[in-house]
Amino acid sequence: MVIMVTEPAISVRGLRVGYISDSGLTTVLRNVTIDIPSNKITGIAGESGSGKSTLASAIMKFINPPMLVESGSIIVDGKYDVLSMDNEQVNEIRGKLISFVPQAAQNSLNPIRKVKEIFFDVLKSRGMDYYSNINVIYRALEDVGFSDKQVLDMYPFQLSGGMRQRVVIAVSLILDPRIVIMDEPTTGLDVVVQHEILKLIKRLQKEKSLSLLIISHDIAMLFQISDYIAVMYGGQVLEYGSYETLLEDAYNPYTYLLLHSVPTITSRGKKLPRIPGDFEGFGRYPKGCVFSSRCPFATDTCREVPPEKVSYDQYGFYICSRYPEWKKEVKKIYE
C-alpha cells in the first residue's frame, strides 16, 4: 500500500506556552505536538479553558506578556518558522498566507466604522488602496454570500450576528490566504444561522482549497464540518484523528465522553455519560494523566504515570495508557 504523505499546513512541535503572575510561571500549553493537514478542515474541540485559543494565538505569534512561549516550534506551510521570525516578518505572512478570525470577532467590530471603512483600514494597514482594490472587496463579499454591495455602507449595529460574521470572514479572506484559523466562528449565533455559517465555511474550503482550523467548545458542531478533529484537555491534545476514526472508535475516554454527552436522536431514552467534576485549573495537574482526576476509567497507575503518545498514521494519535481496556468498562458503566 502506498501511503501519501503530504506537507502539513501547520506543524507544531513540543509547544509550551505559559503566563507569568505573582505566583510564578504557570504552563497553559503543555508539549503540544500536532500536524494540521493541508486542504482539509481540522476542528479543535475541548471545554472552555482547555487552551484552544492559546494554541491559535501561538500559531499567529500573538503571544504577548504576561503570556510567553516557553519552548517548541511552529512551522507554517513547510517553511515559515513562526516563533523564530520577528514581528515584521510574521506580518508579511499574516493575512496573505495565514489568516485569523479571533473569538467573538463579529462582536468586536468597531461600531462607528462602516463596513467599507473596516475593509479600508485592513487594506491600508497592508499598504494597499481601497479604491483600486474595490473589485477584490466585491468578490470577497460575494464569496461570503452578500449579493448586495449596500452592506459596505452599513454600520455593524445595522447587521445581524450572522451578517457580521460573514463580514469578518470576508475580511479574513481579502488577501487570499491559503490557511485560515477561525476561533469559535458560530458561538453566540442561533442554530439556523450557525448552520448557514457552517455551510459557508465548508463551501469556501472547497472553492479555495483552504487549510482550515476551526476552534470550538462544541464538538457536535465540529463533527458536522471537520475532516480531522483534535481534542484538547488541560493544555494537551489528548486525541487527534480523522472524523471517521473518532466517531467510530475514540481511543481516549475524554473524546468518547465529550461526544456521547451530547444528546442525539439515537440516544433518546438512554443514559447519557457525563464528564464528572471540573477542570482543576492550570498548574494543578495530577502527577500522571492530565485527565485522571475526572476520568471514570482511571487507575492508580493513570494517576501516577503520564501516558505516552501513540501515533497510528501521519496525523492520528492518542494519549491514553488504558486503550482498549477502558472500552470494555464503557459497556458496564453506560450501556
Ligand X SMILES: Nc1ncnc2c1ncn2[C@@H]1O[C@H](COP(=O)(O)OP(=O)(O)O)[C@@H](O)[C@H]1O
Return the number of the residue (204 or 290) whose C-beta is nearest ligand SF4. 290
Q: Which run of H or E residues covers position 210?
A: none
Which of positions 236-275 make contact with ligand SF4 (CB under 6 A)?
252-253
Q: Per-residue string for binding with ligand SF4, 118-147, x by CB under 6 A?
A: ------------------------------
Least distance from C-beta 232 to ligand X, angstroms? 7
Q: Where do contacts with ligand X occur on this chain (CB under 6 A)?
A: 19, 28, 46, 48-54, 66-67, 282
Least distance from C-beta 215 to ligand SF4, angstroms? 22
Nearest to 299 by CA among 329, 322, 327, 276: 322
Least distance from C-beta 118 to ligand X, angstroms? 25
Least distance from C-beta 319 to ligand SF4, angstroms? 7
Which of positions 293-312 make contact with ligand SF4 (CB under 6 A)?
295, 297-298, 302, 307
Least distance from C-beta 126 to ligand SF4, angstroms? 45
Return the number of the residue (20 or 272) whose C-beta is nearest ligand X. 20
Return the number of the residue (235 or 306) whose C-beta is nearest ligand X. 235
Q: Residue 226 is placed in which grid cell? A: 471537520
Q: Residue 273 is placed in which grid cell? A: 455519560
Q: What are the φ and ψ backbone dihedral angles of 231, each rounded to 5 degrees?
A: -110, 120
Residues 6+ apart with CB under 8 A from 238: 231, 232, 252, 254, 255, 290, 291, 318, 319, 320
Q: Per-residue string for binding with Mg ion, 86-105, x by CB under 5 A?
A: -----------------x--
The answer to whether the beta carbons of residues 120 and 132 sit under 8 Å apart is no
Among 11, 195, 321, 334, binds ligand SF4 (CB under 6 A): 321
Least distance from C-beta 316 to ligand SF4, angstroms? 16
Query: Which class for 292: exposed (0-12), middle (13-18), buried (19 or more C-beta within 10 A)?
Result: buried
| Length of the chain as a residue count | 335
Least distance from C-beta 119 to Mg ion, angstroms? 26
Return the one option of Mg ion, ligand SF4, ligand X, none that residue 67 interacts with (CB less than 5 to 8 A, by type). ligand X
Return the number of the residue (54 or 172) whose C-beta is nearest ligand X. 54
Q: Is 291 in the site for ligand SF4 (CB under 6 A)?
A: yes
Residues 6+ apart with CB under 8 A from 258: 45, 46, 47, 219, 231, 275
Q: What are the φ and ψ backbone dihedral angles of 13, each rounded to 5 degrees?
A: -130, 125
Return the number of the residue (141 or 230) whose C-beta is nearest Mg ion. 230
- Angle among Cα 308, 61, 22 to the nearest 5 degrees reads 75
Name the H helices within the chain: 52-59, 87-93, 115-125, 134-143, 161-173, 191-208, 219-225, 243-249, 253-260, 300-304, 325-334
Distance of CA 244 to the CA centre of its chain: 18
- Tell me the DSSP string of 62-104: ---TTEEEEEEEEEETTTEEGGGS-HHHHHHHBTTTEEEE-TT
The answer to whether the beta carbons of residues 19 and 66 sit under 8 Å apart is yes
Among 50, 53, 172, 216, binds Mg ion (CB under 5 A): 53
Q: Residue 288 is placed in which grid cell? A: 500522571
Return the one option of ligand SF4, ligand X, Mg ion, none that residue 236 interacts with (CB less than 5 to 8 A, by type). none
Return the number of the residue (37 or 235) whose C-beta is nearest ligand X. 235
Least distance from C-beta 51 to Mg ion, angstroms? 8
> By the criterion CB under 6 A, which residues form the site for ligand SF4?
252-253, 289, 291-292, 295, 297-298, 302, 307, 320-322, 326
> By the criterion CB under 5 A, which residues form the site for Mg ion?
53, 103
